Chains A and B, each alone.
Chain A
Amino acid sequence: MNDADDRGVPDIDRIPEGPAAPDRIGTGERMGDPATVPDPAEVEVPDDFREEIERLMALYPDRRSATIPALHAAQARYGWCSPEALRQVAAVMQVTPSYLSSVASFYDQLNEQPVGRRHVFVCTGVACHVVHAKRVYDAIAEEARVTGLEDTEVREFECLGACDMAPIASVDGRYIGPLDPSDAPEIVASIREGRTPLPGRGLEDSDYRLPWGGRA
C-alpha cells in the first residue's frame, strides 16, 4: 500500500531484502562476500616498500591519492601489479585489493598480467599514423618475434606526445625517433644486450636534433 508523504509524493514500496535496499548500499554486502582490507599483521611487506608507500601517502590530504604512485612503485618492484603486489599495497594503504584492481585495470601503464620488464611502446597516434608508424611497429614486433626477444612488452601505444619526432617509440621511457622500419634490428638487439638503443637519437640526449635541425 502506498502512502503519500506531506508533499504528496507517494511512498514507494521497496523489497526489504532487495539488492538496492537502502541499508545495504555501500556496505559491500551486495555482491556476495564483502571485500576485506588485509590485516597488516598477516601480510608480509618489505620494509623499504612499506616506507615508500607511506611516504607517498603522506604527500596528500587523503591517503588514497597515493594509489597510482603506489601501483607504479609496486610495478617497478615486481614487474607487474600481481595479486601479491596488490595485497601488499592494500595492507599498507588500508584499502581493499579489489579497489586497487579497479584502478589498475583503468590505466594503460598498469598491468595486471605479467608483460615483461622491458617496454617498447610504439606510438601509432594520428600524427605518427600519417608518417607510417604502423610499419615501424610491425618491423619491431616481427624482429622481436623471429629473434625470440624475451621479457619485453612490445605494443602499439596511443599518442606519446612527441609528434615532432614522429614516428617515435618509447623504450623503457626513453623517447627515440624519428624511426624507420630499418631501425628495428638495432632496437631489438640493443634491448637484448642491455645497451641503450640508438644513442644520439633519444630526446634526452644532449645533442639531440630533429632531422631538419630543430630542437625537440
Chain B
Amino acid sequence: MEPDELLHELEESGLRGRGGAGFAMGKKASFLPKGSMDKYLCCNADESEPGAFKDRLLLQRNPHQLVEGILIGAAAAGANRAFIYIRGEYELQAEILDRAIREAYDKGYVGERILGSEHSISLVLHRGAGAYICGEETALPDSLEGKRGNPRLKPPFPANAGLYQGPTLINNVETLCNVPAIIENGAEWFKSVGTEKSTGTKIVSVSGNVRRPGNYEIELGMPSRDIVYGLAGGPPEGRRVKCWFPGGSSAPVLVEKDLDLSYDFETMAEAGSMLGSGSIIVVDDSQSIVSLALRLAEFYRHESCGKCTPCREGTNWTVKMLERVESGEATPADLDVMADVQTNIIGNCLCVLGDSMAMPVGSMIEKFRDEFEEHIEQARRRNGGLPLAAHGGRADEAVGSTAA
C-alpha cells in the first residue's frame, strides 16, 4: 500500500489515541507536512499514569506488534527516523523490546532500503530516567533531545516542530499496536466494534480494591459495571465501591451509581470525567478520601516540572492544605480555598499536569465534602481542639485558631 492509502485507512478507522487525549490517530498523522525533510515518529512508552499498566503488557508480551505498528505508522506519515521512548523503570520491557528491534533489523524489516524498497527507517530505543512529565507530548521531545523534560508552548504542535524542531508524530504504544490489524483487516473491520465515535477495542487496566486486578481488552461502550464487577470481580467481600477513577489518577472521580454508564470516550466526558488512558482505579468504602486526595496531590507535586507557576505552587499548596485537613488544623473554609486553587490551575499552564491534579482533587472535594468536614472535625477533637461550633458556628471565624 502507498502512504496515502495507509493514511486514508487509519483516518477511516476512527482509531483514537490510546494514551489519554483520545485524538484521532490518522488525523494526527495527516498533520505532518509533505516533503523530503527528516521526519520523526516517537512511540510514547513512558507509561507513568498511576493506574495504567497496559503498555507494559504489550511491550512485554508482543513487542513485534509494536515494531510493526511503528513501521506502518512511519510509512503513513513519511517518517524516516523512529524512536521509542520507554520509561526508565521498565528495565525488563526495555530488554525484551531491544531484542525484538534487533531481530527486526536482522530480518531487514528496519534499516536502509527495507526489503529492497525505496523506504528507509531507523528505530532507536531510548530509556527515560523516571519523570512522569516526559510522557507529555511536548516534554517527550525535550527529554529525547537530552534536556530536562519541560513541556513546550503549543503551538507549534509537534506535527510541525517537534523533535529537533522537525515534523514529529507521537503515538502511544497501544495506538500503534492497533495499526497492523487495521491495515490487515481494513477500517470497516475495526469500526465494526465499539461505538460510533469510540471505535475498536481498548485495553483497560483495572486496579485498586478489586478481586481480579489486571488488563482486560473490552469493546468500547461496554457498561462500566460489567468491567469493574464482571471482569475484575468488584471490591473485596463486604465492601462497596466508594469512588473510581475511570481514566487513571488524572481523571475526576466518579461514584458508585456512575458504574451504570457506558465506558467510552464521550460518555465519560459527559459525566464530567474522562476515559484517559483507560485505567480504572477502584476505591472501596474502607478508604479515607482525605488520605487518597493527599496521596494524589503529593504525586503531582513531586512530578510537576516547575516551569509554570500555577502548577508548581498550586500542587504544593494543595498538598499543604490537605496535610492540614488530615491533621485537623484546617477549617471547612479551607476547603473552599482549596477548591478555588484547583480552578485557578486548570487551563493556566503549558501542559495539563496541574489540571491532572486539580480535576480529581476538585471532584473529591465536590463529591465528598461531608467526609472532608467530618474528618476535620474529628481530627480537631482528637487533638483536643474545640469543635468548630464553639466559635459561633461560622467556620471561617475559626481560622484564627489554626496554624498558619
Contact = CB atoms under 8 A, between A and B. Distances in A.
A160 B145 contact: no
Contacts of B299: 125-126, 158-159
Given A126-B296, A158-B48, A204 B146 contact: no
A130 B56 contact: no
A130 B88 CA distance: 25
Chain A interface secondary structure, helix, strand, loop or mixed?
loop
Interface string B38-71: 1000000001111111011100100000000000
Contacts of B207: 127, 163-164, 166
Interface string A1-43: 0000000000000000000000000000000000000000000
A210 B90 CA distance: 19
B21 interface: no
A130 B281 contact: yes
Contact of B130 (A107, A124, A130, A166): A107
Interface string A67-99: 111011000000000000000000000000000
Contact of B88 (A65, A107, A129): A107
Interface string B67-100: 0000000000000010000011111100000000
Interface stretch (A56-64, A140-148, A185-193): A56-64
Interface string A85-123: 000000000000000001100111110000000000100
A69 B213 contact: no
Contacts of B56: 161-162
Interface in B279-336: 279, 281, 283-284, 287, 291-292, 295-296, 299, 302-303, 305
User: What is the interface residue range for chain A against chain B?
Assistant: 35 or more
A175 interface: yes
A216 interface: yes
B164 interface: yes
A46 interface: no
A95 B284 CA distance: 51
A130 B124 CA distance: 37
B271 interface: no
B129 A108 contact: yes
Given A126-B50, A216-B214, A160 B146 contact: no
A61 B295 contact: no
Contacts of A160: 89
Given A161-B87, A161-B90, A203-B92, A212 B50 contact: no
A17 B274 CA distance: 52
Interface string A123-138: 0111101110000000
Contacts of A130: 208-209, 281, 283-284, 287, 292
A72 B88 contact: yes
A173 interface: yes
A90 B320 CA distance: 39
Given A61-B164, A108-B130, A126-B292, A212 B212 contact: yes
Contacts of A170: 89
Interface string A37-56: 00000000000000000000
Contact of B91 (A68, A107, A110, A173): A173
A148 B164 CA distance: 48
Interface residues of B, number: 61
A163 B213 contact: yes
For A59, A62, A65, A159, the residue with the greatest tally of chain B CB atoms inside 10 Å of its CB is A159
Contacts of B171: none
Contacts of A106: 131, 148-149, 305
Contacts of B53: 161-164
A41 B67 CA distance: 41
B281 A126 contact: yes
B149 A158 contact: no
B129 A110 contact: yes
B51 A72 contact: no
Contact of B145 (A64, A203, A216): A64
B50 A127 contact: yes
A66 interface: yes
A214 interface: yes
Contact of A161 (B38, B48, B287, B296): B48
B144 interface: yes
A107 B146 CA distance: 12
B129 A109 contact: yes
Interface string B126-140: 111111100000000
Contacts of B302: 158
A64 to B, nearest CB: 4
Interface in B145-178: 145-149, 164
23 contacts: A60-B124, A61-B38, A64-B147, A65-B126, A67-B146, A67-B147, A68-B146, A69-B127, A72-B129, A103-B147, A108-B129, A109-B89, A127-B51, A127-B208, A130-B284, A158-B303, A161-B53, A161-B90, A162-B56, A163-B50, A166-B213, A175-B92, A214-B214
Interface of B: 38, 47-53, 55-57, 60, 81, 87-92, 124, 126-132, 143-149, 164, 205-209, 211-215, 233, 245, 249, 279, 281, 283-284, 287, 291-292, 295-296, 299, 302-303, 305
Going nearest first, the 7 A-B pairs with the smallest beta carbon separation are: A108-B130, A67-B146, A163-B207, A107-B129, A173-B91, A64-B146, A109-B130
